[in-house]
Amino acid sequence: MIVSRAPCRISLAGGGTDLEPYVNSYGGCVLSYTINHYAFCKIEPSISMWEDKWVFSASDLNQTVELTDIEIDAPYKGDCAISLNAYLYFLKNFDVPISPISITTRCDAVPGSGLGSSSALTVAVVSALAKYHNVPLSDYDVAAVAFDIERVMCNLPGGKQDQFASAFGGCNFIEFKGTDVIVNPLRLSQSIRNRLEMNFILFYTGTARNEHVIEDNMQRLAQNSESVDLTHKIKENCFAFKDALLTGSFHDMDTLLEENWQLKKDLSSSITTDKIEEMYQFGIQHGMKAGKLCGAGGGGHILFSCDQFADMSNWLQNIAKLKERYPKARIIPYGFVNNGVETWSQ
């Protein structure tokens, strides 16, 4: 049996600059840090007494697909699409044997969390399949294959940042230049990392992100020069955030976080909702310094910045007020991690 896990990520800056057609014309960059919320994959032979059977399961979604025949050339649409299409990709591109297999997945993050959970899941499946079939893949290869499966075969809209963030792990400044992807690991001091964890709060809004936001942004980038100009500014913001992070300039990070949120909202009206705006303003009025939505927008998690140790008792009271005001929302415990996808035999 082969088991793998791949981390989700918090996007700190640059989100949207990795989307087509912008990235093809101007290049892009994102800054993200992986967290201890994982997607898992387990692969083992499928054993049946009566007939060959391929079994694909998503245990967290209560989905199971059982097949007695495999059509290699047809991308699959439906339940367990990521794991099934990943298997088809390996059959077609790596000449692995067609033998009954069982693939089970689950993810700590809910779908539409804005934490890159679908990409983390794809990376976990690709890495597990590579080990199961003895296909040598580098971290770059795993991310590139995961991108093809998720974006082409499954037809899920999005950029390239999440696959590379999950495959490599850690805090990375990822640059996109034409078809090239350059992953630059940032070596943060332990004190900066500790303060980053303490200063950033992950607040789940209780609703999934809007799945149409990415498509809307891609259309705007293709048709609207104002959207291109705003995305230029988001890219500039990302470079500035990287510099602030490396030097531990947390006041500058608060300013840049707020600037990023305003730029994203100017880019598309679907980025936020009245409910999210209410939550955001309530947080700012009760001790939060700045914030932005993680991921594409429309739902998922708000990343708030604060200073827990400025006034601990007051901070705890403010968190209690957030929980009381929005009972379906919640503070999500997390920690930053430096490891990317990991795969082992069990």
Where exactly are the structural domains of the chain? 2-187+337-345, 190-331
CB 267, CB 286: distance < 8 Å: no
* Residue that has been written with the tokens 């990709």 in this structure: 89
Cis peptide before 45 (omega within 30 of 0): no
* 232-283 pLDDT per residue, tens: 999 999 999 999 999 999 999 999 999 999 999 998 878 888 989 999 999 9
pLDDT of residue 346: 87
Q: Which of 119, 139, 104, 85 is nearest to 7 (CA)?
A: 119
pLDDT of residue 295: 80
Instruction: Kindly report the CATH number that applies to the domain delimited by 190-331.
Output: 3.30.70.890
Contacts of 209 (CB under 8 A, 6+ apart): 112, 113, 114, 293, 295, 296, 297, 298, 299, 300
pLDDT of residue 268: 81
Q: Which positions of the chain have pLDDT values less than 50? A: none
Q: For this structure, is 162 an active site residue?
A: yes
- Estimate to the nearest angstrom the gap between the alpha carbon of 288 and the chain centroid: 24
CATH 3.40.50.10420 fits 2-187+337-345, yes or no: no
As a whole number of angstroms, the distance between CA 268 and CA 19 comes to 14
As a whole number of angstroms, the distance between CA 6 and CA 19 comes to 22
148, 162, 216, 254: the catalytic one is 162
Q: Which of 33, 36, 32, 42 is nearest to 7 (CA)?
A: 36
pTM value? 0.94
Looking at this protein, which amino acid is placed at residue 246?
L
CA–CA–CA angle 211, 152, 264 (5° rounding): 35
As a whole number of angstroms, the distance between CA 13 and CA 171 comes to 12
